[in-house]
Structures are given as C-alpha cells and as structure tokens.
Structure 1
Amino acid sequence: MNLYPLGKFIMSTILYPLYRIKTIGKENFPKEGGVLLCTNHIHNFDPPVVGITCPRPVHFMAKEELFKAPILKTILPSIKAYPVKRGKGDREMFRRTLSVLKSGNVVGLFPEGTRNTTGELGKGLAGAGFFALKGNVNVVPCAIVGPYKPFRRLKVVYGKPIDINPYKERKASAEEVTAVIMEEIRKLLEQNKS
C-alpha cells in the first residue's frame, strides 16, 4: 500500500500555511536516478517538511522503536520509511539504503544523526560519506532554515549536487566526504539566513 501521495497532500495542506514554507533551489534536484539527500535536523517536522517540498518521493530511516507502535508499524512502510537500529552497526539498514539508492530512488538523511536545537550545524556522522561513496548517486545538500514558529517563514533550500567522483578517485574516507557534505549544508544555511 502506497500512502505517500495522500500523506504528502495532507501534510502540505497543514504545514505550508502554518510555517509559510518557501522552497528554494528545486531546479537543482536531479529529475531521475538515485539521490542521497542530506539535510540539517532542527525539528521533528523535518522529515514531512522535506517530504512535501522535495520534487520526488523521499525514503527516510526512522528509529526502529516507531515500527513497534500499533498504528505506525502499518503507516511508516506505506510512506517509504524503514527502520534503523540506533547506536549500533545496523547491517540490514546499510543494505537497504544502498538498495534504495541503486534502484534510482531518493534517500533522505540527517547526517547529524539527531535533532540539533542549538541553531548551529553539528558534526556529521560518517554514514553520510559512506552512502555517498558506495551508492554511486547524486548527493544533494539541503538546508532547513528555521525557526519553526507558526506563521513565520520557514525556508527549505536545495543546493546543487556535490560531485563525489574526485573523492572516490583518491579513495577519500567516509569522514572526509561527510565533512564536505556538511560544509555545503553550512553554506546554504549562511546564504539563506532570514
């Protein structure tokens, strides 16, 4: 069952007027092929906000505990979410993510790993660099420029895809590639401050 279009419609009717969402840079988003979409994480509403502003459906990881809740365990898979075990090497999640990317789909990732409420961009985890190097896909940086306050402007900015090939060729580490991705997100945040 695919509830993604319905979910996108419902969340759009609520979130667009509530946060006066403005999307910038949609034209930068590849129209086809696998995409690793990396964004900062400032609020619980980040996944639906990215989901409604992104030109293509986005597959998100969600903590596995959510898949044990009676209603959510049915809804989450139908809106393209899949489980991740936090705090441990989750091989199934790694395989699933690479499979989704190699199938030509979009995976949304928050490289910081958790919400950052300080307003500053945190350090990215190596997983983002790993998927960028192994996935052989476009990597698109994205910045959510808050705050999440009703009827205040919220911006979602999509940057140009990052060329990962030079890093692959010189066998850069996952940590180095993650740092490059985080720097692109930081630039988008700086350039689009309210």
Structure 2
Amino acid sequence: MTFYDFAKAVMSLPFRIMGWKIKGIENLPTEGPVILASNHVSLWDPVLIGCSVPRQVCYIAKDELFHVPLFGWVLRHLGAFPVKRGQGDTSAIRQSLAILKEQRVLGVFPEGTRSKTGQLQKALPGIVMFMEKSQAPIVPVRVSGTRKLFSQGWGKVGIVIGKPLTPEMLKPPAGVENRREWVAQKIMEALEQLPEI
C-alpha cells in the first residue's frame, strides 16, 4: 500500500461517518491526462476530492503550506507541489505540465484561493494555459459541505463531477479578444451549473 492509499483510507473515515456522497464518478476519465477544476471553500476540499475519486490527484498548493513542519512533508508525499502565488512560478508550471504528460490527474482551484463567501469567484487564466499546452480535458467538480465540515448534517458533504470539457469544446469563437479569459469564464460557468449535494 502506498502512502497515498494509506492516507486516503484514513481520511475517508470522517467523510463516511458524515454520509458523504459522490455523484457523476462515471464522468471522470479512467486513463489519460485530466485537469480537475473545483470550487474552493475550505482546506478540506482537496482531501474530500482525493478521497472521492479512484485516481491519484496531484494538487498545486500555496508555497507557505510546505513550510509547516510535518504538514509540508505530508503534502509532498501525497503528490502535491508548491506554487508561489502572485509570481510567474515557472517551476510550478513545469511540474503541472509534467504531471499531465505522464497521463496523470492535476487538481486545480481555478479561483486561485478560497472563497470567503462560498460563492464562485472569477477564474485565473493559468488553468487555460495547462489545457492548451497539454490538450488534457478539464473536468469540473463541485464540492459541497466542507466550509463548516463538522457542523454539517448527515449526507450534506460530497462532490458532484461534471462531464469533461475538451479543448475543442472550449474553443473561443472568432472575434474574442482575450481567449484565456473567455475560456476561464466558461469553466466557471460549467462549475456553477453543477448542483450541490
């Protein structure tokens, strides 16, 4: 058993107790490169998604988290890697593209940070660059119930996985000035259309 599998088994327990639900799992490709794009309301979001899907998800996480004793070690051993926000972090970009080239799953929060209100925010264009360079499909994922995880009632925590969005499906029409911004908006619209648990 890998460290990832062990951590997944352990961290799944509280979600199971809370009656966690997973909908749309058939929409996640079983092989090939995939970009998971999720809303972000809690530090529990990547944990919930990682426990909910059968493939390992490699997350981009803010650099500061990797400097927390022990926690940073755990993150790295779960396949996460740091990004220095507010900078053109070429190392994080290269690592993201390498994961996709290896036919793996890259987890991204398009908003770039947690939403304090729970409402979807504007997406950053970085996710579009990953899609363009890798030609990987983007799979929207709606997380529910993690914002106040331990005060949720039974059965109110879980994820809904939407249908994959291919680069061809997200091709901007002629005349669009900012292509990446247009595509980023379409990704957020797909997220918004997913129901909550």
Output the TM-score relative to the length of structure 1: 0.90
Residue 11 (structure 2) aligns with = 11
Q: Amino acid of the residue matched to residue 182 of structure 1?
A: M
Give 1:6 deviation, angstroms.
Answer: 0.6
Residues 1:187 and 2:193 are matched in the alignment: yes
CA distance in 2, matches of 1:167, 1:52: 28
Q: Amino acid of the residue matched to residue 160 of structure 1?
A: K
The root-mean-square deviation of aligned C-alpha atoms, in Å, is: 2.0
CA distance in 2, matches of 1:108, 1:57: 10
Q: What SS does the aligned partner of 1:186 have? A: helix
Aligned-residue sequence identity (percent) comes to 37
Offset from partner CA, 1:32-60 (integer Å, 9 cap, x none): 00000000001110010000001211001
Give 1:16 deviation, angstroms.
Answer: 2.4
Q: How does 1:82-161 map to 2 (within 5 A)?
A: 82-146=81-145, 148=149, 149-152=151-154, 153-161=156-164
CA distance in 2, matches of 1:90, 1:76: 19
Q: Which moved more, 1:145-154 or 1:91-100?
A: 145-154
Q: Does the CA contact (< 8 Å) of 1:144 and 1:157 recur in 2? A: yes
Q: Amino acid of the residue matched to residue 157 of structure 2?
A: L
CA distance in 2, matches of 1:138, 1:44: 25
Q: What runs of 5+ residues in structure 2 fail to find an aligned partner?
A: none
Output the TM-score relative to the length of structure 2: 0.88
Q: What SS does the aligned partner of 1:160 have? A: coil
Q: Give the number of equivalent residue pairs.
A: 190
Offset from partner CA, 1:144-177 (integer Å, 9 cap, x none): 1235334341130000101212545869722111
Q: Which moved more, 1:161-170 or 1:66-75?
A: 161-170
Q: Amino acid of the residue matched to residue 176 of structure 1?
A: W
